[in-house]
Amino acid sequence: MEMEVKVFKARILGFQGSWMSGLATLILEDLDGYGPPAVHCENAQTVRCLEGAFGNVIDNNHSVNPEGGHVGKEIFYSMDDFGLTLECFTPVDEASDELIDYYNKERE
């Protein structure tokens, strides 16, 4: 049985993480009325993805720049199969037509 993927839309407000634990939280402003205000994620993996997508995320001390390029950016994102951690995200301004159509159909 194939599971439906739920796609959320949010604005990134911040990132809190600890390289020692490997855990982090992406702080969000929900833009569609369905998503949580924050999602748990893997620290290093998410920071590298944010850096690749937006730039200016990693500062000189190899930690997250609290005013980095990710802050204020809108993303589409999905959660893992259990709904506990971030699975993936796509910047809204780079989203494919297929992703936008899928997101909009979920809201009908």
Contact 8, 76 (CB under 8 A): yes
| Domain presence at residue 31 | yes
pLDDT tens-place string over residues 14-39: 999 887 889 999 999 999 888 889 99
Residue 63 is predicted with a pLDDT of 86
| Domain presence at residue 3 | no
Residue type, 104: N
Give the total number of structural domains in the chain: 1
Helix%, strand%, coil% for the chain, nearest 5: 25, 35, 40
| Domain presence at residue 20 | yes
Helices (H), ranges, 17-96: 43-54
Domain coverage including residue 39: 8-100
| Domain presence at residue 105 | no
Residue 3 is predicted with a pLDDT of 64
| Domain presence at residue 32 | yes
Higher pLDDT, 76 or 2: 76
pLDDT band at 47 (very low <50, low <70, confident <90, very high): very high
Residue 1 is predicted with a pLDDT of 52
Contact 18, 28 (CB under 8 A): no
Rg of the chain on CA atoms, in Å: 14
Portion of the chain with pLDDT greater than 90, in percent = 74
- Report if pTM > 0.75: yes
Average pLDDT, the chain: 92
Q: What's the N-to-C CA distance of the chain in angstroms?
A: 23
| Domain presence at residue 2 | no
Residue 60 is predicted with a pLDDT of 86
